[in-house]
Amino acid sequence: MTTVGMDTNALMMPVEVGVRVFDELDRLLGPGMAEYVIPRPVADELDALSAGSGEEAKAASVGKDLANRCRILETNESYADDAIVELAEDGAFDYVVTNDRPLRDRLLSRGVRVIGVRGTNRLGITEP
């Protein structure tokens, strides 16, 4: 089973960039071939963002619903990006899904494979 870490913006992709994230991950990795996980700070960030108003709050609300498909991992980090990097360095993920360029660069520099938006509504894998 492939383990896929999800960043906050990955779970907000359906609203923000029109990507059906889990359908795309099934296309890339094979249907039912992945376990999806999020660090606790990602869940907390989605809670905080969804409490607001506007497009970002709507995207975060959708992200919260999608997060129900994910197992939550506890971490010592309180900032979502740092938690993802920490867990990735510990080998918790085979891939990380993010559309955040600075986080992507941090992960790639540590040898972590990253899945991100390619084109308009598709995901692709970037190897380190």
CB-neighbour burial class of residue 116 (10 A; exposed 0-12, middle 13-18, buried 19+): buried
On the 0-12 / 13-18 / 19+ scale of CB atoms within 10 A, 83 is buried
pLDDT in tens, 10-41: 999 999 999 999 999 999 999 999 999 999 99
Global pTM?
A: 0.95
Using an 8 Å Cβ cutoff, are 103 and 7 in contact? yes
The b/e string for 57-68 (b: 16+ C-beta within 10 A; e otherwise) is ebbbbbbbebbe
Letter for the amino acid at 12? M
State the pLDDT at residue 119.
84
Q: What is the pLDDT of residues 47-99, one digit of tens each?
A: 999 998 999 999 999 999 999 999 999 999 999 999 999 999 999 999 999 99
pLDDT exceeds 90 at position 7: yes
Domain 2-126 has CATH 3.40.190.10: no
Every domain of the chain and the residues it spans: 2-126
Looking at the chain, list the stretches that DSSP marks H as alpha helix, in order from N- to C-terminal side.
Answer: 8-16, 21-29, 40-50, 55-67, 80-89, 101-109
Sole residue written with tokens 């190897």: 127
